[in-house]
Amino acid sequence: MKKLLVVGLLVVFCALTACAAPKNVIFMIGDGMGFEHVAAGDYYVHGGEKGSFDWMTPLAMSTYSANGDGYDPEKAWSEFAYVKKGATDSAASGTALSTGVKTTNGRIGIGPEGKPLRHMYQAAEEKGKATGVVTSVLMAHATPAAFSAHNEKRSNYEQISREMITQTPIDVLMGTGHPEYDGNGDKLDADKTAADKRYVMVGGKEVWAALRNGSAGADADGDSAPDPWAFIDTREEFQALGEGDTPKRLLGLARVEATLQQERDGDKNAAPFEVPFTKTVPTLAEMVKGALNVLDNDPDGLFLMIEGGAIDWTGHDNQSGRLIEEQLDFCEAVNVVREWVEANSSWDETLLVVTADHETGYLTGPADGEWAPVENRGKGNLPGVKWNSGSHTNSLVPLFVKGAGADAIVAMATSEDPRRGKYMHSTVLSQTIHAMMAN
């Protein structure tokens, strides 16, 4: 009933505003990125003079799952511990954002009753669009999986990655989880790469072998013939993909185990950028530039989900310095998208959504037992922060929109929070985009 109401309201809105279906939809998720994470990154880069997303329309979004207790704006600000309870996980929140249906924690593209749900990429495929999923963490991790696969358990990585690689018509997949490299991007010995468990993120040994020899891939264009993946894994290949000719389908797996940079060795509580980066893996921005260059060959348009996944990992580990690194890496990827729209498309035909699936770490300013904003300590300085949890919270998260259909999304933000202002439920955001794409 709620979904029908959303669609009905959107139809009325579009009738009044001549809202058209966007040709391109780019959906960016900072996993675990709360309002204070954004503020921390902005203070470090800009010193509080401006924000990274000032050029977009700001809103807020609730994220609770089907087995959560909802979100109460008054309690969220009057009871400090309130948001520590009832939080979603990335599987349920990603599924809600992709399908427009809330589900229980742990499920990937599966509803509360156990039935498969229709992903946003599937709606795009039905319109003939090119589709892609890009992440800075494991390709089969919860958020990218929740936009491309169906499984009862997010931990069934081998099943999920096999579906993504061998069954979906998606045109671009990028992430980490390379079975032959460790967390620093160093090549593993043959005895270590022989272990079956190292291949769960790439569909198992047989799928990995097929991917490497160029035979893995489902029918992506509807002609009943397999469309194998072109495969890349070096940083140079990712960088080269951003310019010139591209393959029909592309799977890129960075030469690293789990995250592009967040799990590299060195003092993991050091100041931002103090520990040298692993230079053999691409940045998220480089991955996104390549993905767009592949997908924008389709005259019908594109759908691309991009995840800055390791923001969440820094929140779980309470790593203030590496939070800044990951936040800025995500913002750089957003800037690549902005540049692509303005150089190769337009805001009249492209919708950009930037949001989070939930907040991680309960990040605040340095106050005890009460909420306080992150402290601005000047450009280039680590802001004053305090981590109040190592888990997800039920806090509202930021939502920024720009481009074709943005006004329709803004119109659907009908709830009010005393501090964050207008907000909507994650499912309303997804349902609104699904409705626009159906036009």
- Residue 24 pLDDT > 80, yes or no? yes
* Residue 10: predicted pLDDT: 55
The predicted structure's pLDDT at residue 49? 77
Q: CA-to-CA distance for 188 and 180, rounded, in angstroms?
A: 6
Q: How many CA atoms lie within 13 A of 366 on its CB side?
A: 8
Cβ–Cβ under 8 Å, residues 127 and 121: no
- The average confidence (pLDDT) of the chain is 95
Q: Please tell me the distance from the alpha carbon of residue 140 to that of residue 124, in angstroms, as a whole number.
A: 21
d(CA 250, CA 132): 9
Distance separating alpha carbons of residues 356 and 2, to the nearest angstrom: 22
Residue 38 amino acid letter: V
Evaluate whether 82 touches 67 at the Cβ level (below 8 Å).
Answer: no
Please say if the pLDDT value at position 2 is more than 80: no
**Averaged pLDDT for residues 375-391:** 97
Is the pLDDT at 384 greater than 50? The verdict is: yes
Q: What is the pLDDT of residues 102-116, one digit of tens each?
A: 999 999 999 999 999
Q: How confident is the model at residue 19 (pLDDT cuts 50, 70, 90)?
A: low
Mean pLDDT of 320-341: 98
Residue 13 clears pLDDT 90, i.e. is over it: no
For the residues 270-274, what does the mean pLDDT come to? Answer: 98
The CA-based angle 394-81-96, given to 5 degrees, is 10
15, pLDDT greater than 50: no
Domains: count for the chain = 1
Q: Percent of the chain having pLDDT more than 70? A: 95
pLDDT score, position 3:
52
Q: How far apart are CA 261 and CA 326, in angstroms?
A: 8
Inform me whether the pLDDT recorded for 325 exceeds 80. Answer: yes
Using the predicted structure, report yes or no on whether residue 31 has a pLDDT greater than 90. Answer: yes
Q: What is the pLDDT of residue 229?
A: 98
Confidence of residue 417 (pLDDT cuts 50, 70, 90): very high
399 token code pair = 């939502």
Q: What is the C-alpha to C-alpha distance for residues 93 and 100, in angstroms, rounded to an integer? A: 10
Q: Which residues pair with 302 in a beta bridge?
A: 130
Please spell the DSSP secondary structure of 338-361, one letter per residue. HHHHHHHS-TTTEEEEEE-S-EES
For residue 74, give every residue at least 6 positions away whose Cβ sits within 8 Å of its Cβ, in sequence order, or none: 418
The burial class, CB within 10 Å (0-12 / 13-18 / 19+), for 399 is buried
pLDDT digits (tens, 9 = 90+) for 54-83: 999 999 999 999 999 999 999 999 999 999
Specify the pLDDT at position 1.
47
0.75 cut: is pTM over it?
yes
Q: Which residue has the higher pLDDT, 382 or 11?
A: 382
Q: What is the pLDDT of residue 16?
A: 39
First to last CA, the chain: 20
Looking at residues 402-406, what average pLDDT do you find?
98
Supply 51's token pair.
Answer: 């924000």
Domain containing residue 237:
2-438
Average pLDDT estimate for 207-214: 97
pLDDT digits (tens, 9 = 90+) for 151-210: 999 999 999 999 999 999 999 999 999 999 999 999 999 999 999 999 999 999 999 999
Q: Over 70: is that where the pLDDT of 355 sits?
A: yes
Sequence-distant (6+) residues with CB within 8 A of 122 are none
**CATH number for the domain that contains residue 234:** 3.40.720.10
pLDDT value of position 411: 97
Residues 79-94 pLDDT 10s: 999 999 999 999 999 9
Q: Which residues pair with 415 in a beta bridge?
A: 423
Q: 135: Cβ–Cβ under 8 A, 6 or more apart, which residues?
A: 141, 143, 144, 174, 175, 176, 306, 307, 309
Pair of tokens at residue 146: 């929740």
Q: Is the pLDDT of residue 309 over 50?
A: yes
Helices vs. strands in the chain: H and E counts, helices first:
15, 15
Q: At residue 131, what are phi and psi to the nearest 5 degrees? A: -135, 150
Q: Distance between CA atoms of 175 and 307, rounded to whole angstroms?
A: 9
